[in-house]
């Protein structure tokens, strides 16, 4: 930056909350324990997001359940977490870091989600992200692929308090599904959607050993990282085009450079989350990607996130 250039305004947005930067951690890696969450609070992550919680603590699925791959990872963690009461109890200490705390909630039933959302509505959490898309629990289909159950869940969960809530959505692959889900979601007072969760129930095989890469569910697991960036971009774009402006779209999937974050910005994301890259690199990814994004926007003559948001050009 030379002396005449102003720094780019990199603030992101989720519903009523303005973030100090455009990126923060996704629910998933390195955000389960208080120690990990405090570390996130002291990093450049713009918010502290927790691992999805359940009613009772869970050890998660059998190992090996995470495998790094050349362009990302496959995993079937199985919701390992401390149980929602542990996160309620540590919230005052997490809040002391001075940035928004987002609680990810992933009940195994609507009754579980109702209990947890009610509890966090009465807490000092800033935002709730309700996970409608965990692909890794045997016998529990992803809620976001079932319109009827999604409607039933929202009918209840949207009446439990005033704190802004958002939904973590699975990836969709058909225009009719984007249309149907967006039509449904805009009937509810939600503040944001997060697109996308891992691409569920994929299979990666080691041809040498002729074995599936991970143990749970016979090797079926969520695909993450670079492999899924085009899917994440498409989902952000599709929901941004269909949802009213009062609902922010948060991008996640394969962001490991400032250029990746910029692509999500062009697609219309109000902020982005980092998962696999944070797992591999640790908290330094937030400074690095923020710096790269700032330099890219500066070089392109954008003064702020807002100027570039949704400005994707198409060829028609």
Q: With beta carbons less than 8 A apart as the criterion, state whether 126 and 102 touch.
A: yes
Min dist. Cβ of residue 98 to ligand RRO (A): 27
78-97 mask for ligand RRO (x: CB under 6 A)?
A: xx------------------
Nearer to ligand RRO, 107 or 258 (CB): 107
Angle at 62 between CA 133 and CA 224, to 5 degrees: 40
Query: Pick the catalytic residue: 31, 53, 134, 285?
Result: 134
Q: Is 77 in the site for ligand RRO (CB under 6 A)?
A: yes
Q: Is 197 in the site for ligand RRO (CB under 6 A)?
A: yes
The window from 4-12, 82-90, 132-140, 247-255 that contacts ligand RRO (CB under 6 A) reads 132-140
The window from 33-41, 108-116, 129-137, 143-151 that contacts ligand RRO (CB under 6 A) reads 129-137
* Distance, CA of 45 to CA of 282 (rounded, Å): 11
The window from 30-38, 70-78, 171-179, 299-307 that contacts ligand RRO (CB under 6 A) reads 70-78
Min dist. Cβ of residue 316 to ligand RRO (A): 34
Among 136, 150, 235, 270, binds ligand RRO (CB under 6 A): 136
Other beta carbons less than 10 A from residue 185's beta carbon: 20
Q: Is 106 in the site for ligand RRO (CB under 6 A)?
A: yes
206-225 mask for ligand RRO (x: CB under 6 A)?
A: ----------------x---
Q: Is 32 in the site for ligand RRO (CB under 6 A)?
A: no
Total chain residues near ligand RRO (CB under 6 A): 14
DSSP assignment of 92-145: HHHHTTSS-EEEEE--SSHHHHHHHHHHHHTSS-SEEEEES----STT---GGG
Min dist. Cβ of residue 309 to ligand RRO (A): 26
Nearer to ligand RRO, 74 or 160 (CB): 74
Q: Which residues contact 246 (CB under 8 A, 6 or more apart)?
A: 191
Joined tokens for residue 181? 């889900």
Min dist. Cβ of residue 187 to ligand RRO (A): 24
Min dist. Cβ of residue 76 to ligand RRO (A): 6
Other beta carbons less than 10 A from residue 204's beta carbon: 17
Q: Is 134 in the site for ligand RRO (CB under 6 A)?
A: yes
Among 21, 43, 76, 270, binds ligand RRO (CB under 6 A): 76
Strand partners, 272: 23, 251
Q: Is 276 in the site for ligand RRO (CB under 6 A)?
A: no
Min dist. Cβ of residue 131 to ligand RRO (A): 5
* Distance, CA of 132 to CA of 45 (rounded, Å): 24
Nearer to ligand RRO, 50 or 52 (CB): 52
Clarify whether 195 is annotated catalytic: no
Angle at 58 between CA 30 and CA 151, to 5 degrees: 90
Q: Of 59, 57, 25, nearest to 44 (Cα)?
A: 25
Q: With beta carbons less than 8 A apart as the criterion, state whether 155 and 190 touch.
A: no
**How remote is the C-alpha of 35 from its chain's centroid?**
20
Other beta carbons less than 10 A from residue 227's beta carbon: 21
Strand partners, 252: 273
Residue with tokens 């984007």: 178
Contacts with ligand RRO by CB under 6 A lie at 52, 76-79, 106, 131, 133-136, 197-198, 222
So which residues are the catalytic ones? Answer: 134
């Amino acid at each position: 930056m030379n002396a005449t250039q102003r720094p780019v305004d990199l603030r992101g947005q989720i519903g009523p909350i303005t973030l100090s930067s455009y990126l923060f951690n996704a629910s998933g890696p390195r955000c389960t324990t208080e120690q990990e969450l405090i570390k996130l609070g002291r990093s450049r992550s713009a918010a502290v997001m927790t691992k999805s919680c359940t009613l009772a603590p869970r050890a998660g699925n059998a190992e090996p359940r995470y495998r790094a791959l050349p362009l990302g990872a496959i995993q079937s963690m199985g919701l390992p977490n401390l149980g929602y009461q542990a996160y309620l109890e540590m919230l005052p200490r997490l809040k002391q870091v001075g940035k928004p705390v987002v609680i990810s909630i992933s009940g195994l039933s609507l009754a579980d989600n109702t209990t947890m959302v009610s509890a966090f509505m009465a807490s000092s959490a800033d935002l709730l992200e309700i996970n409608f898309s965990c692909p890794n629990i045997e016998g529990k289909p992803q809620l976001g692929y079932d319109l009827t159950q999604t409607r039933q869940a929202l009918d209840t969960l949207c009446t439990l308090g005033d704190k802004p809530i958002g939904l973590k959505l699975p990836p969709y692959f058909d225009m009719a599904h984007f249309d149907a889900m967006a039509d449904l979601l805009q009937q509810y007072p939600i503040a944001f959607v997060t697109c996308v969760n891992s691409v569920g129930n994929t299979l990666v095989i080691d041809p040498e050993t002729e074995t599936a890469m991970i143990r749970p569910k016979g090797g079926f697991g969520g695909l993450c990282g670079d492999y899924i960036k085009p899917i994440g971009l498409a989902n952000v774009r599709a929901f941004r085009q269909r949802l009213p402006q009062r609902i922010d779209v948060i991008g996640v999937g394969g962001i490991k450079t400032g250029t990746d974050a910029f692509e999500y910005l062009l697609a219309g994301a109000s902020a982005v989350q980092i998962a696999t890259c944070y797992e591999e690199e640790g908290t330094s990814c937030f400074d690095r990607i923020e710096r790269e994004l700032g330099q890219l926007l500066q070089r392109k003559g954008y003064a702020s996130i807002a100027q570039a948001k949704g400005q994707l050009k198409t060829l028609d």
